[in-house]
Amino acid sequence: MAETPVLEVRNLRVEFPTRKGTLVAVDDISFHVNEGEVLGVVGESGAGKSMTGTAVINLLEPPGRIGGGEVLLDGRRIDNLPYEEMRRIRGRQIGMVFQDPLTSLNPLYTVGRQLIETIRTHTDLSEQGARKRALELLAEVGIPSAEHRIDQYPHQFSGGMRQRVVIALALCVNPRLVIADEPTTALDVSIQAQIIALLKKLCHEHGAAVMLITHDMGVIAETADRVAVMYAGRLAEVGPVQQVIQQAKHPYTHGLMGSIPKVGHHTDRLAQIEGSMPRLTEIPEGCAYHPRCPKAFARCFVERPDLMPDGTTDVSCWLYDEELQRAEAHG
């Protein structure tokens, strides 16, 4: 019997009604994240990564809305819950780590007060018990002399230390799911590595499922178990991280991998993908990637591929259509 994924997203569609018609930002995507697993969601700016994360926790800014599909947490549908019930789930069962820790922390309260209030809201711990738990968490996320720092305000912490506090906040009531949206973008590289290692360690220890949203393939390679590559609101490729990095199947994924410098290999210039991601108002017919794709053929211009299994990877590319492959083999 297969285990129920912690997070399951089925045929999710996110749309923005405008005067000129409805723009589709996330178009019919399905994926899952298992317990203790890190799923990396990667793609260029505008691919729909953050929009997907925001839709999962039902925090889309109006007029954005979920136009179709379902979001399930431990097998229970959560995308259609009343506001208050969803708010409780966000605090208790879903932890969030955003790009800028300052947006997640209240500058008027000490970090200790913010942790203690969150812990007390979602557990039965007393003030004293919650403070003890807050101290343990601050120590666990690597904040030195936690007893002293617990009574300080966010502005007294560096960017990397603030992000550690945010991770402590996200994990303080042992959530089932952590959504981390570009959690290291604002930090320098050495701090990035520490934060990534910390997220991975804590999630394995706490058994949480993690959806890690980033445009940085290096971060994905270090952290994720599986990777979902997004392009123009759809999934281009989903598979085990090493498989996708070493043997990318979708021409877009291939281009992304070619743009990463490799240690020990000298190259004069990195490969680049010509062109840019289409705007929501200008997504072409057929496969959205075809204007930039070196391997596009007639079918790509008119018919849009869904994810198709190919080994351990799923890829939305007509090159992997079984009928086409059979025809070529017999041709």
Helix (H, G, I), strand (E, B) or coil at 89: helix
- The 10s digit of each residue's pLDDT in 292-308 is 999 999 999 999 999 99
> Is pLDDT at 270 greater than 70 in this prediction?
no
- Asked if 218 and 260 count as a contact pair (C-beta separation under 8 A), the reply is yes
Strand ranges in the chain using DSSP code E only, listed in sequence order:
7-18, 21-33, 38-42, 65-73, 76-77, 94-97, 177-181, 209-214, 226-231, 234-240, 308-310, 313-315
Cα distance between residue 319 and residue 313, in whole Å: 14
- Topology of the domain comprising 7-93+175-189+201-284: Rossmann fold (3.40.50)
Nearest of 102, 96, 93, 127 to residue 112 by alpha carbon? 127
Give the mean model confidence (pLDDT) for residues 163-180: 91
Residue 196 pLDDT level (bands cut at 50, 70, 90): confident
The overall average pLDDT reported for the chain is: 90
Cα distance between residue 286 and residue 300, in whole Å: 5
Helix (H, G, I), strand (E, B) or coil at 314: strand
- The 10s digit of each residue's pLDDT in 25-49 is 999 999 999 999 999 999 888 999 9
Q: Which DSSP state fits 144?
A: S
Give the mean model confidence (pLDDT) for residues 132-139: 94
pLDDT score of 108: 96
Q: Where in the chain is CATH 3.40.50.300?
A: 7-93+175-189+201-284
* 19 exposure class (CB count in 10 Å sphere: 0-12, 13-18, 19+): exposed
pLDDT score of 269: 60
**Which of the residue ranges 68-72, 75-79, 120-124, 184-188 would you say has the lowest mean pLDDT?**
184-188
* 202 exposure class (CB count in 10 Å sphere: 0-12, 13-18, 19+): buried
- Asked if 176 and 89 count as a contact pair (C-beta separation under 8 A), the reply is no
Higher pLDDT, 59 or 218: 59
Instruction: Determine what percent of the chain is predicted with pLDDT higher than 90.
Output: 67
Cα distance between residue 103 and residue 11, in whole Å: 30
pLDDT score of 1: 47
Longest dimension (CA), the chain: 75
- The 10s digit of each residue's pLDDT in 44-87 is 889 999 999 999 999 999 999 999 999 999 999 999 999 999 99
Give the mean model confidence (pLDDT) for residues 320-331: 70
pLDDT score of 197: 83
Higher pLDDT, 3 or 175: 175
Residue 324: count other Cβ atoms within 10 Å of its Cβ.
Answer: 13
Cα distance between residue 225 and residue 239, in whole Å: 9
Cα distance between residue 115 and residue 119, in whole Å: 6
- Asked if 219 and 196 count as a contact pair (C-beta separation under 8 A), the reply is yes
**Helices 111-122 and 159-171: angle between axes, nearest 10 degrees:** 10
> Is pLDDT at 261 greater than 70 in this prediction?
no
Instruction: Determine what percent of the chain is predicted with pLDDT higher than 70.
Output: 93
Cα–Cα distances (Å) from 27 to 41, 88, 187, 283, in that order, read 15, 28, 31, 11
